[in-house]
A and B are shown apart, each in its own frame.
Chain A
Amino acid sequence: MAKDIGVGVIGIGMGLTVAAINRDPASRLEVRALCATRPERLAAAARERDIGFVTTDHHELIARPDIDVVGVYSPDHLHFEHARAALEAGKHVICTKLMVTRVEDAAELVRLVDRTGLKFLVGQTMRFEPKFATAKRMVDDGDLGEIAWAEAHYVHDLRHVLPLTPWRLTAPQDLMYGGVSHPADLLRWFFGNVKSVHALARKGKIMPDYPLPDNFLLNLQFESGLIARVLGSYGVVHPPMPMMGLGLYGDQGSLQADFTDQRGGQLKYVLDRVETLPVATMTFEPEREGAYGHGETVLRYLRHFEECLATGSEPSPSVRDGARSVATCAAAWESVRTGKVVSVSNDY
């Protein structure tokens, strides 16, 4: 298949994973340009992947006529600036999670996508994880009946990540947006809009140079009435549990699924109608390609995005999904600050 859709990538941490699409002969996508702030690393990354254009100025990348899609993989607080510039230049956008870190910026991106008609995908990797995608299929098929409550977590002792991504300390990264957004968005994928949230936050001691709270507990009520809890913990010694977890508890069945970077995962379930099989377990092989082992996941959402470009369909998660996950995190922060239950604004 002709490689006739040019991709430019801003940010070469997670972003370099996108370049693996160049080796897929069934894909029309081709990474043709890279942008990053460290010239030597940038040049080496482009050389290794035979990518012809590099720049430290994202405007130069976005302005190239051979670039149709811009992948935004810069630090969280720069997503808005880069995504907005790409949309204003008429480019489709794939933006890694979390979309942006302010609700005003989320609203502006929604307006820009509506005005331009361009495609926008939020790279929420957990929606493309096979364990969680399987769980979604089971829920959509009604296997679990009506879900009464749900839980999701993302725990990650970040100390070993900080030397690789020093911006997390210097920006600093806001871990409600950069971390809690993973499990919060995962639950939004299953259950839609969050109506209200109550949240608590506390700073741990293992990252003394990190200035913000880094452990979070959220209680969510969805518009459907479903209740859920979310744990995000980054400021403690990594606990003996999977990095990501999902629990869904219904009147015909319940399941728990997990994911950890570079490792295999499981989905365990109990169905009320199957008396002879109290607990069934699906095992999933580890995926180790790309940054943090998310390579296969990134390829899955790139192929989804390519299909959306070809058919005109809406990417999922869309810019509105991204905005509503941002709004959920913003409401959680307001709850932390006020001590109150806070309504989530989903008016996008």
Chain B
Amino acid sequence: MTIERLTGERPLVTVRDGARAVAVCVAAGRSVAERRPVRVEEV
């Protein structure tokens, strides 16, 4: 986000991409804990 503000260009990997990757990992962790498939939208 900082680079985006400084240059005005969109970074190749945005904070939203990072957040969605985190969400996939959180869903995977919940799937392991609950022994069921978890939709990424749930987290």
- Residue numbers of A with Cβ under 8 A of B are 196, 198, 339-341
Contact = CB atoms under 8 A, between A and B. Distances in A.
A198 B31 CA distance: 11
Interface in B1-43: 35-37
Nearest to A200: B37
A131 B35 CA distance: 34
Interface of B: 35-37
Given A198-B37, A340-B37, 6 more contacts: A196-B35, A339-B37, A340-B36, A341-B35, A341-B36, A341-B37
A340 B34 CA distance: 11
A345 to B, nearest CB: 18
Contacts, number: 8
A55 B9 CA distance: 75
Contacts of A196: 35
Nearest to A340: B36
B39 to A, nearest CB: 10
A60 B3 CA distance: 80
Contacts of B37: 198, 339-341
A244 B37 CA distance: 27
A341 B35 CA distance: 7
Contacts of A198: 37
Nearest to B36: A341
A198 B37 CA distance: 8
8 contacts: A196-B35, A198-B37, A339-B37, A340-B36, A340-B37, A341-B35, A341-B36, A341-B37
Nearest to B34: A341
B24 to A, nearest CB: 15
B41 to A, nearest CB: 14
A201 to B, nearest CB: 13
A332 to B, nearest CB: 14
A162 to B, nearest CB: 33
